[in-house]
Amino acid sequence: MGPGDAVTRRGPKSFRVLVMTMLPPEIEIELTLDEADDDEAVRRKAARQIGYEPGDLPELTLRKKSIDARHGRVVFRLLLEVAPEPRELGAPHPVDVDRLDRVIVVGDGPAGLFCAYELARRGIGCTVLDRGKTVQPRRRDLRGLNQFGVVDGDSNYCFGEGGAGTYSDGKLYTRSHKRGDCRDVLEVLALHGAPESILTDARPHIGSNKLPKVVTSMREHLEARGVTFRFGARVVALLTREQGSGRRVCGVRLESGDEVAADAVVLATGHSARDVFRMLLDAGVALEPKAFALGVRIEHPQPFINRIQYGRHAAHTKLPNAPYKLAFTESGRGVFSFCMCPGGFIVPASTNSGELVLNGMSLSRRDSPYANSGLVVGVEVADALKAGFSGPLAGVDLQHRIEEAAWQAGGGDLRAPATRATDFVAGRGSTTVPGTSYQPGLAAGNVGDVLDVVGLGIAERMRRALNVFEKRMRGYVSEEAVLVGVESRTSSPVRVPRDSESLTSPDLGGLYPCGEGAGYAGGIMSAAMDGMSVARAVATALPSASST
């Protein structure tokens, strides 16, 4: 008997239980846009697809919701469970922790915050140190960035409570499912105030207006359990001691001169903490250069992207502002869209004066009139060497050179050099540029010259890719599209080596490189999952560590 056999007739309770055990674990159905929010339509289509009567189905649980933009249809993936076991959202929860604070977590981004959360689930205390500020005073420093071009080196879009993700969108999708339990991370976020739609959306997103409250709620929850947070606490040195034939970390020194002792130090400082890389070299920790990507932000009017993606359905009220994803590979080198923000804003992500770095973000409603995306080119380690940079920080130095060129081309005050897409493809600069979401403003010019300051032909590779993208999305290259420079910090250009089993540095016992800055993640979700993995490794090692 297969799914649907003899189900339409009613029978004894035992027969119906048997039938329920034969239901497929998942049912994928397609609905028109007008049916998308109709629960009865969902139930009828699910039943029809597997040959059941709607009344014979148990309660349906929505697992994923996505949009097929090619046909203007919403595709639901429904998970059917017979008498599902009740499960508490986000369990297990943090408990009162050991107040010995045997662990230091450096960085309060997603890797550090979720590391502290996972430790607290196991009753292990830690001190979280962050160079930046909590979300509210950090918000004032962001206003200084956007309105006055003033860069605070410790409080900006990259540094502060919640890390780079707090005020740069809150995208929660990842391809790194092997790193850990994505659902666990999503449930923890939902438990602390994120919309529960993140549990079912195919491309979950919180928004930069809501994520700060979620991050604050997580911190306050952990503080109530005994976890310590210190802000304005920049780590400038690792404290070490000799142990056997090697060395072991035993704490950190802060810029204030304070020293904080610990048995384990989790380094979760993000991809822009360049001073941390130099601190590690000074401490004798080996670093490895790694590939990354850099390029520009490309911005279009959002209604224009909606028409390209949705066609005649573009004005339908059930459709959100449209995203897109593009990639082109030539001779093994990739050019691709990155961190696409429908209904979003371009923001200045500089961490020092004299350099210009851009990022994209959007609010929860994604209702800005603009769409922006990173448009970036893969940069290999050999490219940095070819450009004249050397050593483990070659990629960092390459990034910095391009960021300096962007600052100079913009004329200062965080104005960004910009070129219309049509002019860029033609290999020329622009004398005027369209309106923009970027508050510090644009400076018309030739962003291709900025990209090519290191002599790697990045602009030419991007031109060839844009010609291909125009064929895939007619109108993508237009007078209304503008390339804004530069998007240079897509991921860390450095990896801090760690043992694949213990997750500790081979050069310094008790040091746990973690997250995006250490080269082991690429976004909020993968960083959070890596932080939780490191917490489990720390918990396993602590008994032996604390006895030495």
Q: Which residues pair with 17 in a beta bridge?
A: none
pLDDT digits (tens, 9 = 90+) for 429-464: 999 999 999 999 999 999 999 999 999 999 999 999
Tell me the CA distances in angstroms from 378 to 69, 265, 315, 490, one per residue in order. 28, 32, 36, 10
548 pLDDT exceeds 60?
no
Longest CA pairwise span in the chain (Å) = 80
Q: Cβ–Cβ contacts within 10 Å for residue 26, how many?
A: 11
Q: Cβ–Cβ contacts within 10 Å for residue 173, how many?
A: 14
DSSP string, 387-428: TT--STTHHHHHHHHHHHHHHHHHTSTT-EEEEEHHHHHTT-
**pLDDT given for residue 4 in this prediction:** 40
Cα gap 68→310, rounded to integer Å: 9
AA identity, residue 351: T
Cα gap 232→148, rounded to integer Å: 23
Q: What are phi and psi of 204, to 5 degrees?
A: -65, 145
Contact 261, 251 (CB under 8 A): yes
Collapsing DSSP to helix, strand or coil, 104 comes out as strand
Cα gap 298→322, rounded to integer Å: 15
Contact 292, 492 (CB under 8 A): yes
Q: Which two tokens stand for residue 466?
A: 């844009």
pLDDT digits (tens, 9 = 90+) for 257-283: 999 999 999 999 999 999 999 999 999
Cα gap 105→462, rounded to integer Å: 39
Selected residue with higher pLDDT from 179 and 341: 341
Contact 512, 500 (CB under 8 A): no
Cα gap 103→116, rounded to integer Å: 9
pLDDT digits (tens, 9 = 90+) for 367-409: 999 999 999 999 999 999 999 999 999 999 999 999 999 999 9
Contact 456, 295 (CB under 8 A): no
Selected residue with higher pLDDT from 476 and 41: 476
Pairing of strands 292-301, 288-289: unpaired
Mean pLDDT of 485-507: 97
CA torsion through residues 6, 8, 14, 17, sign = positive
Region of poorest pLDDT, from 99-103, 147-151, 158-162, 443-447: 99-103
Cα gap 249→243, rounded to integer Å: 10
Q: Which helix (H) or strand (E) holds 229?
A: strand 228-231
CA dihedral 306, 307, 309, 310 (to 10 degrees): 90
Percent of the chain with pLDDT over 90: 74
80 pLDDT exceeds 80?
no
Selected residue with higher pLDDT from 461 and 168: 461
Contact 157, 169 (CB under 8 A): no
Q: Which residues pair with 419 in a beta bridge?
A: 483
Mean pLDDT of 43-70: 81
Q: Which two tokens stand for residue 311?
A: 């066609």
Tell me the CA distances in angstroms from 527 to 194, 198, 350, 478, 540, one per residue in order. 18, 17, 21, 36, 20
Residue 20 confidence class, pLDDT cut points 50, 70, 90: low
Domains of the chain: 13-80 (3.30.70), 103-287+496-546 (3.50.50.60), 289-487 (no CATH)
Cα gap 383→404, rounded to integer Å: 19
Residue 313 confidence class, pLDDT cut points 50, 70, 90: confident
AA identity, residue 225: R
pLDDT digits (tens, 9 = 90+) for 509-546: 999 999 999 999 999 999 999 999 999 999 999 864 44
Region of poorest pLDDT, from 111-115, 177-181, 184-188: 177-181
Residue 76 confidence class, pLDDT cut points 50, 70, 90: low
**pLDDT given for residue 21 in this prediction:** 55
Mean pLDDT of 172-192: 82
Contact 319, 343 (CB under 8 A): no
Region of poorest pLDDT, from 68-82, 109-123, 438-452: 68-82
366 pLDDT exceeds 80?
yes
Percent of the chain with pLDDT over 70: 90
SS (H, E, C) 284-339: CCCCEECCEEEEEEEEEEHHHHHHHHHHHHCCCCCCCCCCCCCEEEECCEEEEEEE
**pLDDT given for residue 312 in this prediction:** 83
**pLDDT given for residue 1 in this prediction:** 33
Cα gap 282→307, rounded to integer Å: 54
**pLDDT given for residue 86 in this prediction:** 67
Selected residue with higher pLDDT from 345 and 58: 345
Residue 73 confidence class, pLDDT cut points 50, 70, 90: low
Region of poorest pLDDT, from 24-28, 335-339, 340-344: 24-28
**pLDDT given for residue 13 in this prediction:** 46
Q: Peptide bond before 513: cis, by omega within 30 degrees of 0?
A: no
Selected residue with higher pLDDT from 178 and 320: 320
Three-point CA angle 93, 95, 99, nearest 5°: 145
Q: Cβ–Cβ contacts within 10 Å for residue 181, how many?
A: 11
Q: What is the DSSP letter of 441?
A: -
Residue 6 confidence class, pLDDT cut points 50, 70, 90: very low
Region of poorest pLDDT, from 128-132, 178-182, 353-357, 483-487: 178-182
Three-point CA angle 58, 62, 68, nearest 5°: 130
pLDDT digits (tens, 9 = 90+) for 234-243: 999 999 999 8
Residue 53 confidence class, pLDDT cut points 50, 70, 90: confident
Q: Which residues pair with 113 in a beta bridge?
A: none
Contact 172, 206 (CB under 8 A): yes
**pLDDT given for residue 34 in this prediction:** 83
